[in-house]
Amino acid sequence: ILPLLFLALAAQAFDPYYTAFHAQPLKNWCNDPNGPMFINGTYHLFFQYNPDGYVWGDMHWYHMKSKDLLHWDHLPVALAPDKDYDCGGIFSGSATIVEGSPVLTYSVQCGESIAIAVPKDPNDPDLKEWVKPDSNPVIHRPNTTQNFRDPTEAWRGEEDGLYRMIVNCDEGTCLFKSENFVNWTYTGIMWPTDAGFQECPDFYKLPGTETYVYKGSIQGQEWWLVGEYKEVPGLNALDKFVNTSADVLFNNQRYDMGTFYASKRFFDPVKNRQVLFAWVNYHCNDTDWAGVQSFPRIVLPNPAKDNSIITYPI
């Protein structure tokens, strides 16, 4: 860890454009935030990373940690495309706390499956090393879709205790259920849409409400809608989600109007809030890096408008 600290200090000292409060790699390309989480007193953030240069390619997961979401420490790269099923690169995904331990879920460049990774040493406070279990890949692409990637954080049913996870497909949100986070059953399209394939979906409940938010990344913009979610117990049963706001692509229902894409949020138990990050595609001439993670934001109900949300910097 110490060599990474020295490199970070050097980057800030010799590069006037290197940021102070935005998570970013020491150099090279980064894009989508992946797997933000809080565990054992520390915030963790992963994101898409090219170790070979400051243009897109050869996707890995970079890893950083923080105590306050403002000051970030660099950790070793968490995930590399070192298995046959990684088929081209480690694409976007999420983190879920399963029985007290984090599990990373990720998609792959060829779009054929979803895989998982777990800490090599769950007692390591920095979670520096991750391993891919022999059970991988844990989900295969349904034959009804060609596009298939970007799993959400999983959640557990209040009635049946089953894990649930969304992966976006051509016709909407493909819902999967599992008893053990290894064997997953495809239940169908929970929220169908004709808006086209949407990257980096998110699905979450606003704390203190019964309102659920769905977000899809479409053509460089972060579109959201709010609605009502109903759990339908059973491994093969399809849960229900009905939007109560306008659909995506309508009413300017976007997190941001600027360069802000592929967002990923997580629940922060410290302050009982939903916090999100997004990718800011940004490059300065004569620098060896491109892209930063946005300043973290809180997602809240909009007090001035029903069926609407707002975001604020933390």
- Using CA atoms, how far residue 3 sits from 7, 12, 69, 121, 203, in Å, is 6, 14, 22, 21, 38
Q: Which long-range contacts (CB under 8 A, 24 or more apart) does 250-257 make?
A: 253/223, 253/224, 253/225, 253/308, 254/221, 254/222, 254/223, 254/224, 255/215, 255/222, 255/224, 255/297, 255/311, 256/222, 256/311
Query: How would you label 12-30 residue by residue, b for 16+ Cβ within 10 Å and e otherwise?
Result: eeebeebbeebbbbebbbb
Dist CA 144 CA 170 (whole Å)? 8
Sequence-distant (≥ 6) Cβ neighbours of residue 200 within 8 angstroms: 32, 92, 150, 168, 215, 216, 217, 262, 263, 264
Instruction: Name, in order, each residue with C-beta under 8 angstroms of 294's C-beta and a sequence gap of 6 or more.
Output: 22, 260, 263, 277, 278, 279, 280
Active site residues: 32
Contact call for residues 224 and 215 (beta carbons, < 8 A): yes
What is the rounded distance in angstroms from the CA atom of residue 38 to the CA atom of residue 36?
7
Distance, in Å, from the CA atom of 278 to the CA atom of 196, rounded to the nearest integer, reads: 21
Name the β-bridge partners of 241.
229
